[in-house]
Chains A and B, each alone.
Chain A
């Protein structure tokens, strides 16, 4: 879970204080740092990075690149005193940022609007969000407390999936704000994947069973270094959908060879996903000591 909203990184003490106070007065949870190194140490905790351009130890665009390597989803706003001519973007390797000039009249209001919007909507991810993302994340949170207790049961379902569907790997996981977390699995040994690197990030946008017969042929995943290193070629998943209709995660199967997936296979996977969701739902109800009907 995120620890804060915004990180302001600026070597100028006065500018850093003014920017921090401006955003704090707007009701945001703000941290600050004066150097690139200090900024990187705070990065895991925030949704938005507001960075100056010039630093004694580098540039704001170098900070952005390092930030995205650690936290791919972080929204980055360069808030600079330098002119465009004074900023080197040719060597930024395509890092996408928003930008505001400190010299622009009335920029304070615009900065608050942009940062607030970025915190609420997460507007710089490289992947699309479901339309009900806020409600969906709230639903994911409701199952956090029971996820660990369901591990053994979900492992068994994953093993059953491998045997039934003739695949070498299967996993059950939730997709939270920044990552896909594995709750149960068979044939794989991973705990979590950055959401930007996960195929499930796209699968949860689709109501139907998602099938990618060859990940290398799909433009969404062809340049995915993690998938490439893992040797995965085939992927299929069915959504874990709560009783009130929110997709909190997926039941996935994978293989190292491309393959097709029949209608019967899709039905089996759909059933396994429903069973996994029932495991989570029943445990949630028991934990909350509430209604056990149905």
Chain B
């Protein structure tokens, strides 16, 4: 079977294509641009599906932020699991399924799977998923439950050759927690801002630079 091409990203991110079936942990404080990086990586596809699990911001805010980052939404290709519980306006450029609370990992997982199944039924086999943020899930649940959740989502996306991008803020968790969750992923991207703009580096991902470099995005 011919290998599928990697998932590509805009030039400004300085990221080489990521192989299908890869789960990535993006680690960085929210105010350093890490959330925007996850949204950008998730929304950067052309003719690909995207699913965003949003734990703190409603679907409307996610769409606004992605559009500000230059992403185009359409309900045929985009789905959002909104854990804030806000009903979006009609019409809305993404299919939105709501959960009453980020604590409901069962509901989040089922709705994520529903959106993915819908994309598959429409013939969209390449899907990017972003979870913003695992930190919120950890603040409401225990590490074991959240670990199973991350493992299950990562497992689903690797089974179908998608990519999964999980956000975590390492500054608010014990290092052992972050390292445990990193082990469910194939690699990690660290994000920082030391006053001269957002920088990132990759670890554990093939063909990606391990050195810190600047990214040039309207974060």
Contact = CB atoms under 8 A, between A and B. Distances in A.
Interface of A: 61, 75, 78, 84, 87, 89-90, 92-101, 104-107, 110, 113-114, 116-118, 121, 123-128, 196, 202, 205, 218-220, 223
Interface of B: 97, 100, 103-107, 109-111, 113-114, 117-118, 120-121, 141-145, 147-149, 151-152, 154-156, 158-160, 173-174, 176-177, 180, 183-184
B110 A123 contact: no
A117 B162 CA distance: 14
Given A96-B105, A117-B159, A101 B117 contact: yes
B155 A99 contact: no
Considering residues B142, B152, B160, which has the most beta carbons from chain A within 10 angstroms of its beta carbon? B152
A46 B189 CA distance: 36
Contacts of A87: 110
Given A89-B107, A219-B174, A105 B121 contact: yes
B76 to A, nearest CB: 15
29 contacts: A84-B97, A89-B106, A93-B106, A94-B104, A96-B152, A97-B109, A98-B113, A99-B109, A99-B110, A104-B118, A106-B121, A110-B117, A113-B159, A114-B159, A114-B160, A117-B159, A118-B155, A123-B151, A123-B155, A126-B148, A128-B180, A128-B183, A202-B180, A205-B183, A218-B174, A218-B176, A219-B173, A219-B174, A219-B180
Contacts of A98: 109, 113, 152, 155-156
A113 B160 contact: yes
Q: A-side binding surface: helix, strand, loop or mixed? A: loop
B162 to A, nearest CB: 12
B208 to A, nearest CB: 18
Contacts of A90: 100, 104, 107
B113 A99 contact: yes
Contacts of A127: 147
A106 B120 contact: yes
A223 B117 contact: no
Contacts of B120: 104, 106, 110
A110 B141 CA distance: 30
Considering residues B105, B106, B113, B151, which has the most beta carbons from chain A within 10 angstroms of its beta carbon? B106
A176 B10 CA distance: 44
